[in-house]
Amino acid sequence: MKPRRMRIKNNGHAAQVEIDAAAAPRIDDGGLAGEYIFAQFHFHWGSDSSMGSEHTINGVRYPMEMHMVHYKTAYGTIGKAVQQADGLAVLGVMFEISQTDNPAFTPLVKALKEIQEPSMTIEVDAQYPLRAFLPRDVGAFYRYDGSLTTPTCNEVVTWTVFDQAVPISEAQMEVFRNMRNDHGHNLVNNFRPPQALSSRKVFMSYSGTGSDASSMKSLGLAVYFLSTLAVVVASV
């Protein structure tokens, strides 16, 4: 089911997208402690394709990372949810450079050209379901308890970071980099560097090909395996 409309904002520090839909998208399963309702998604990117993501996988940094923010249904509103330790669930999606445009992002990128200046908003008809913005394989992911990556950095987020990256072209990335921030400069490098793991446990949803546990352990990460192997993305 695709949303009816997308409301796209240049809020001065990121490109953020909200939706109008007959029923709010929800996620559950995959080891999540309950059901979470979609609120918005936004992006973090760098000044070039050597950086931009807020997470790394086996030391690899990606040119952009998308965060799909959800709040726990039981708390009623996102305002109440950010006050609870398990209030938010965020899906982290990495992007990798492709030789061709990603068609699912073409309407979004076209809209971004119209809101290059901060505090601008545009509404467009939604042409794709939210599932089109996620990797094909949503069963391979990493999970840990952490914080928001922007102030006030509340420790209220259950993070799900997908192992598989989504393609995007350099031409599409340039539209993000040409946006302007609150200070009149190009809106780039709006990412928080990876933070120390400290005592957090990183869970993996799978074993096998891809980013493997042994290499992560060699970097000093504590890796555990989830008993449930998939995030169920409902009504998106």
pLDDT tens string, the chain, 236 residues long: the values are: 677 899 999 999 999 999 998 788 899 887 888 999 999 999 999 999 999 999 998 889 999 999 999 999 999 999 999 999 999 999 999 999 999 999 999 999 999 999 999 999 999 998 888 899 999 988 888 888 887 787 777 788 999 999 999 999 999 999 999 999 999 999 999 999 888 777 778 888 754 444 444 333 333 333 333 333 334 444 33
Domain count for the chain? 1
Write out the two tokens for 150: 């922007």
**Statement: the pTM of the whole predicted model exceeds 0.75:** yes
**Is 55 annotated in the active site?**
no
Residue 179 belongs to domain with CATH number? 3.10.200.10
pLDDT at 1: 62
Q: Of 47, 60, 54, 66, which is closest to residue 189 (Cα–Cα)? A: 47
Q: Please answer whether residues 52 and 63 qualify as being in contact, where contact means their C-beta atoms are separated by less than 8 angstroms.
A: yes
Q: Please answer whether residues 65 and 94 qualify as being in contact, where contact means their C-beta atoms are separated by less than 8 angstroms.
A: yes
Give me the catalytic one of 13, 70, 183, 185: 13
The residue count of the chain comes to 236
Q: Of 217, 219, 231, 223, which is closest to residue 204 (Cα–Cα)? A: 223
In the chain, what is the straight-line distance between the N-terminal and C-terminal CA atoms, in Å?
A: 5
pLDDT at 234: 40
What domain range is 228 assigned to?
5-234
pLDDT at 206: 57
User: Which residues make beta-bridge pairs with 45?
Assistant: 64
